[in-house]
């Protein structure tokens, strides 16, 4: 009787779970498997020939242009994360500790988070219109007389990319940091003051260590999202602004070298997974210290 019941339960569980399971297998694991298989094939323009060889990987690790793109991508993603952190932390701190009215706090929080509902492309495009020769920045500088004619130095370079990506991904930095700061009991701050520490020392010894899980989470998300971005290089990046995702896209597109593209994609995947794992370890270490 109980056996039959548990069997029925299991059947029902299976029925409920099978659509999402099927979906995951079909649309997540299958593409990755195909990617792995392709990465060992050989390219014979314009075809990909089935094979099992490491030529694509050898090319990636020996041809310096790939290392250069990877480094540039990491540099831009690092700069974006750093800039986002420097902007997001004070903002989240201000929201969590200085804004007293809950209504105002929600409004200011939503002001940062709401753009996530707007298409990514649109948000990145905004910066094209701000930084471009016909853009807001130029007309402002001209109307104040700082510039006599529109300048094109603002757009199509790495700075423009960093600015755009920071704007696009900063919500992912604000959210976890704000959540971590909000969880700090106010009387820990009071206790630190009571024990003789001033505001700055309290910030360094109590607030920042307790906000660390949020900082790490925000940094990881912003870094990984920027690392894989390929739209902003196209929109606002210059000739020296190609990122790894653009190179991969090119292999699947104009270059028609799917095996190399697959190998590059897998290398990138491993890097991102490595970063996520490291940050997860770090956070868990912090959790053990905190809980």
Partner 1 sequence: MTDIVTLNNISKHFGPVIGVDNVSLSVRSGEFVTLLGPSGCGKSTLLRMIGGFEEPTQGSVVINGDDVTHLPPNKRPVNIVFQDYALFPHMSVGKNVGYGLRVGGVRRTEVADRARAALELVGLGDRFDAKPHQLSGGQRQRVALARAIVRRPKVLLLDEPLSALDANLREAMQVELKRLQRKVGLTFIMVTHDQTEALALSDRVVVMCDGRVVQDGTPDTLYDRPSSTYVAGFIGTTNLFQGQVHGDTLHALGQKLVVPEGLAPEGRTLTFGFRPEKAEILTAAVAGNGTLPATVTDILYHGNSARIVVEVSGSPLSIDRTISDARHASGLPDIGDQVQIAIQPDRIMVLADEAAA
Helices (H) and strands (E) in the chain, counts: 15, 2
Q: Give least dist CB 206 to partner 1, A.
A: 6
Phi, psi angle pair for 145, to nearest 5°? 85, 5
Query: Which is nearest to 175 in space by CA: 85, 291, 70?
Result: 85
If one asks whether residue 102 binds partner 1 (CB under 8 A), the answer comes out as: no
- Compute the least distance from the CB of residue 288 to partner 1, in Å: 9
Tokens of residue 120, six digits:
């990514």
Q: Is 240 in the site for partner 1 (CB under 8 A)?
A: no
Question: Cβ–Cβ contacts within 10 Å for residue 203, how many?
Answer: 16
Distance (Å, rounded) from C-alpha 243 to C-alpha 236? Answer: 12
Query: 59 or 197: whose CB is closer to partner 1?
Result: 197
Say whether residue 98 binds partner 1 (CB under 8 A). no
Q: Segment contacting partner 1 (CB under 8 A): 14-22, 41-49, 117-125, 201-209? A: 201-209
Taking CB under 8 A as the criterion, the residue among 143, 187, 239, 254 binding partner 1 is: 187
| Closer residue to partner 1 in complex, CB, 64/185 | 185
Q: Does 195 bind partner 1 (CB under 8 A)?
A: yes
- Binding residue for partner 1 (CB under 8 A) from 102, 194, 200, 239? 194
Residue 106 or 204: which CB sits closer to partner 1? Answer: 204
| Residue showing tokens 């094979």 | 51
Is the bond preceding 183 in cis, omega lying within 30 degrees of 0? no
Q: Check: CB of residue 115 under 8 Å from CB of residue 171.
A: yes
Q: Where are the alpha helices (DSSP H) in 2-157?
A: 2-24, 30-39, 55-62, 64-93, 102-113, 120-131, 136-143
Binding region for partner 1 (CB under 8 A) out of 73-81, 141-149, 189-197, 264-272: 189-197
Site string for partner 1, 247-286 (x = CB under 8 A): ---------------------------------------x
271 near 227, Cβ under 8 Å?
A: yes
CA 102 – CA 110 distance, rounded (Å): 12
Rule CB under 8 A: choose which of 185, 200, 239, 254 binds partner 1: 185
Q: Is 209 in the site for partner 1 (CB under 8 A)?
A: yes
Nearer residue to partner 1 within complex by CB, 121 or 191 = 191
Q: Which stretch binds partner 1 (CB under 8 A): 34-42, 187-195, 231-239, 244-252?
A: 187-195
Residue 108 CA to residue 105 CA, distance in Å, equals 5
C-alpha distance from residue 249 to each of 137, 154, 223, 229, 230 (Å): 32, 26, 20, 11, 8
Whole-number minimum distance, CB 264 to partner 1, in Å? Answer: 41
Stretch of residues binding partner 1 (CB under 8 A), selected from 78-86, 97-105, 183-191, 248-256: 183-191
> Quick one: 57 or 93, whose CB is closer to partner 1?
93
The answer to whether 179 contacts partner 1 (rule: CB under 8 A) is: no
Place of tokens 């409920």: 16
The binding site for partner 1 (CB under 8 A) comprises 185, 187-188, 190-198, 201, 205-206, 209-210, 286, 289-291
């Amino acid at each position: 009787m109980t056996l039959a019941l548990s069997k029925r339960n299991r059947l029902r569980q299976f029925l409920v779970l099978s659509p999402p399971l099927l979906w995951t297998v079909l649309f997540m694991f299958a593409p990755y498997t195909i990617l792995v298989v392709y990465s060992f094939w050989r390219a014979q323009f314009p075809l990909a020939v089935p094979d099992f060889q490491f030529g694509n990987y050898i090319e990636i690790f020996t041809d310096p242009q790939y290392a250069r793109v990877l480094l540039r991508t990491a540099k831009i993603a690092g700069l974006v994360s750093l800039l986002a952190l420097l902007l997001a932390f004070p903002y989240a701190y201000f929201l969590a500790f200085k804004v007293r009215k809950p209504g105002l706090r929600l409004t200011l929080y939503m002001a940062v988070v709401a753009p996530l509902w707007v298409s990514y492309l649109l948000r990145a495009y905004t910066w094209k219109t701000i930084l471009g020769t016909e853009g807001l920045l130029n007309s402002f500088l001209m109307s104040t007389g700082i510039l006599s004619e529109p300048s094109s130095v603002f757009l199509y370079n790495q700075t423009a990319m960093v600015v755009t990506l920071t704007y696009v991904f900063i919500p992912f930095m604000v959210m976890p940091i704000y959540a971590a700061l909000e969880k700090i009991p106010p009387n820990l701050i009071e206790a630190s003051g009571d024990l003789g520490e001033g505001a700055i020392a309290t910030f360094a010894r109590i607030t920042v260590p307790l906000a660390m899980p949020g900082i790490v989470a925000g940094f990881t998300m912003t870094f990984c999202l920027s690392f894989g971005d390929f739209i902003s290089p196209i929109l606002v990046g210059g000739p020296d602004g190609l990122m790894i995702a653009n190179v991969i896209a090119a292999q699947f597109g104009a270059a028609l070298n799917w095996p190399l593209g697959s190998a590059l994609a897998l290398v990138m995947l491993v890097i991102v997974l490595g970063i996520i794992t490291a940050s997860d370890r770090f956070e868990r270490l912090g959790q053990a210290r905190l809980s």
